[in-house]
């Protein structure tokens, strides 16, 4: 778990009663609820590498099993003292629960967005963690014009995000006079929410919930519902700016998952009341990946070319940069799956790609440690293979994408203790550092002028033109 999360100091580790204990269990079986947590690397601290929490059905009790030893809450006693996180039995301290408590802290600050997201009259009250119908309109009114400055500013940012994503010249949103719906002013014209369709409602409901709660973890069911294909990645990337830990989403769109997710898992019923959850198999051939994504349908919706990048973290970063040039809805960005395909013997796979669409580009890190040395041989060989397949491939002049982030953007996202990298400096060599998964946040804070001054920005600006 990230070290930024605290260990829940000052809160006892105990069981919180619910109105109906059995409601947290599946009604398709009669098994106990068992959760196993495994920790590796720096998380295996205090001797805790694996812990299993078991809860019997219809009881407000639980047992924690660590390395074969069972710890059970006694009546009137917590398993950890109020001022710490050490598992104990009586007065004897046993083992640190800090990794488990870090997970609990994230899960306790989670917002779930169900598949029903409707702000129109006819749907009332709460739906899981969000307000719908007139209750949502009332909430929106209070946030925009109430006494809370933080909520006022959250709505201001939300309207700015929607204006940017939908490319409106001007936008304002207010409750209608009878508080039954929302009134929009778009580019000088007035619209009621029901005149605009379900897609923009989808955005407003989701962004309002996220901006109000600022969760650590945001769960969303089927983000693609009612949204044009070019807007689906916009919704997820914007939601991620409000969630400090991340966004988990379930979807029936394999293409959307492959296009934006760091990790993908499939869920399949096993036939005995259980479900199998496992990582999706890596696609061995790039042409199969495009087939799975249904590139032809993407092209019908406005995408006219494909840009290959190294990994999922590069995908979201490049998407933010393409937005600066107004090309995020015309260029489909796909990850190569890391460095495994950055080699010279990929001629056949690249040739198959060009039979699907001739407009394919690629950009990869140079991994150069100084300006005097060339990129490694495998990267030069990959560029040559691309050229044989008539694919324009750009090897970055600097070491990697994160070496293009200006110091001001890094500080804007992470604070004054952080700094931008030198052109050939490794991210792992600076302290404090950040994770590559957060690169897109810095890219979002960059300006087009800052990008224009670099070889990466100039390459992105020329994409789709015959001169590339």
Separation CA 79–CA 93 (nearest Å):
10
Separation CA 269–CA 23 (nearest Å):
22
pLDDT computed for residue 54 by the predictor: 85
Whether the upstream peptide bond of residue 208 has omega within 30° of 0, thus cis, is: no
Least confident of 7-21, 60-74, 168-182: 7-21
- CATH code that applies to domain 110-252: 3.40.50
Q: E strand or H helix at 48, and its extent?
A: none
Beta strand 189-192 pairing with 182-186:
antiparallel
Count other Cβ atoms within 10 Å, centred on residue 458: 12
Give the SS3 label for residue 217.
strand
Torsion from C-alpha of 322, 419, 441, 261, nearest 10 degrees = 90
- Top pLDDT among 44 and 369 is at 369
Residue 226: both structure tokens together = 């009612």
Separation CA 4–CA 164 (nearest Å):
31
pLDDT computed for residue 5 by the predictor: 28
Q: What is the mean pLDDT of residues 124-128?
A: 69
pLDDT bin (cut points 50, 70, 90) of residue 8 is very low
pLDDT bin (cut points 50, 70, 90) of residue 362 is very high
Residue 351: both structure tokens together = 């040739």
**Could you tell me the CA-to-CA distances from 414 to 177, 239, 316, 358 in Å, in that order?**
41, 18, 18, 40
pLDDT at 127 > cutoff 80: no
Least confident of 82-91, 123-132, 352-361, 418-427: 82-91
pLDDT at 13 > cutoff 50: no
pLDDT computed for residue 185 by the predictor: 94
User: Which tens digits make up the pLDDT trace of 290-325?
Assistant: 555 555 555 554 677 889 998 878 988 998 999 889
Report H helices in 62-166: 98-108, 133-145, 149-165
pLDDT at 88 > cutoff 60: no
CB 330 within 8 A of CB 305: yes
Q: What is the mean pLDDT of residues 414-422?
A: 95
Count other Cβ atoms within 10 Å, centred on residue 80: 24
pLDDT computed for residue 81 by the predictor: 46
pLDDT bin (cut points 50, 70, 90) of residue 79 is low
Tell me the backbone φ, ψ of residue 254, rounded to 5 degrees.
-65, -35
The domains of the chain are located at: 21-108, 110-252, 284-462
Residue 396: name the closest of 420, 371, 418, 419 by CA.
Answer: 371
- Top pLDDT among 283 and 316 is at 316
CA 182 to chain centre: 28
Claim: this prediction has a pTM higher than 0.95: no
Least confident of 11-25, 198-212, 443-457: 11-25
Q: What is the mean pLDDT of residues 147-176?
A: 89
Provide the edge-to-edge strand list for the sheet that holds 246-250. 110-113, 217-221, 246-250
Q: E strand or H helix at 396, and its extent?
A: none
Give the SS3 label for residue 127.
strand
Q: What is the mean pLDDT of residues 54-70?
A: 76
Q: E strand or H helix at 64, and its extent?
A: strand 63-66
Torsion from C-alpha of 164, 165, 169, 171, nearest 10 degrees = -90
Residue 162: both structure tokens together = 């929607």
Give the SS3 label for residue 440.
helix
pLDDT computed for residue 299 by the predictor: 57
Least confident of 31-45, 197-211, 326-340, 400-414: 31-45
In the chain, what are the helix, strand and coil shares in percent, each to the nearest 5? 40, 20, 45
pLDDT bin (cut points 50, 70, 90) of residue 9 is very low
Beta strand 360-364 pairing with 305-309:
parallel
Least confident of 183-192, 234-243, 380-389: 234-243
Q: What is the mean pLDDT of residues 18-45?
A: 68
As a whole number, the mean pLDDT across the chain is: 78
């Amino acid at each position: 778990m990230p070290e930024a999360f605290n260990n829940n100091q000052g809160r006892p580790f105990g069981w919180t009663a619910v109105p109906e204990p059995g409601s947290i269990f599946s009604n398709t079986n009669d098994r106990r609820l068992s959760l196993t947590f495994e920790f590796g690397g720096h998380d295996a601290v205090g001797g805790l590498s694996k812990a299993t929490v078991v809860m019997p059905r219809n009881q407000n009790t639980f047992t924690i099993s660590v390395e074969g030893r069972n710890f059970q809450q006694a009546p009137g006693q917590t398993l950890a003292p109020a001022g710490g996180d050490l598992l104990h039995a009586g007065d004897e301290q046993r083992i640190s629960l800090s990794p488990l408590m870090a997970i609990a802290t994230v899960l306790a600050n989670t917002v779930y967005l169900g598949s029903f997201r409707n702000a129109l009259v006819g749907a009332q009250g709460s739906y899981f963690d969000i307000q719908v119908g007139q209750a949502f309109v009332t909430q929106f009114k209070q946030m925009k014009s109430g006494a809370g400055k933080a909520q006022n500013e959250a709505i201001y940012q939300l309207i700015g995000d929607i204006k940017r994503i939908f490319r409106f010249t001007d936008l304002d949103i207010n409750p209608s006079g009878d508080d039954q719906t929302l009134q929009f002013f778009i580019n000088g014209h007035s619209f009621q929410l029901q005149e605009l369709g379900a897609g923009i409602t989808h955005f407003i409901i989701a962004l309002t919930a996220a901006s109000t709660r600022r969760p650590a973890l945001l769960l969303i069911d089927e983000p693609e519902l009612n949204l044009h294909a070019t807007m689906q990645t916009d919704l997820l990337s914007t939601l991620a700016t409000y969630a400090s830990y991340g966004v988990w989403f379930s979807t029936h769109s394999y293409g959307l998952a492959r296009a934006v997710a760091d990790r993908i898992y499939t869920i399949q019923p096993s036939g005995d009341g259980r479900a199998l959850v496992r990582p999706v198999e890596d696609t061995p051939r790039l042409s199969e990946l495009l087939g799975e994504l249904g590139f032809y349908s993407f092209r019908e919706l406005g995408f006219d070319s494909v840009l290959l990048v190294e990994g999922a973290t590069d995908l979201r970063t490049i998407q933010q940069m393409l937005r600066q040039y107004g090309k995020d809805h015309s260029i489909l960005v796909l990850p190569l799956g890391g460095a495994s395909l950055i080699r010279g013997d990929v001629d056949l796979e690249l040739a198959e790609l060009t039979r699907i669409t001739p407009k394919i580009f690629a950009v990869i890190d140079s991994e150069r440690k100084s300006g005097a040395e060339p990129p490694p041989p495998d990267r030069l060989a990959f560029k040559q293979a691309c050229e044989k397949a008539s694919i324009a491939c750009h090897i970055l002049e600097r070491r990697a994408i994160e070496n293009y982030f200006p110091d001001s953007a890094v500080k804007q996202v992470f604070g004054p203790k952080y700094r931008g990298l030198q052109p050939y400096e490794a991210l792992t060599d600076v302290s404090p550092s950040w994770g590559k998964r957060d690169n897109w946040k810095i890219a979002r804070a960059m300006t087009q002028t800052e990008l224009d001054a670099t070889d990466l920005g100039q390459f992105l600006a020329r994409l789709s033109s015959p001169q590339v």
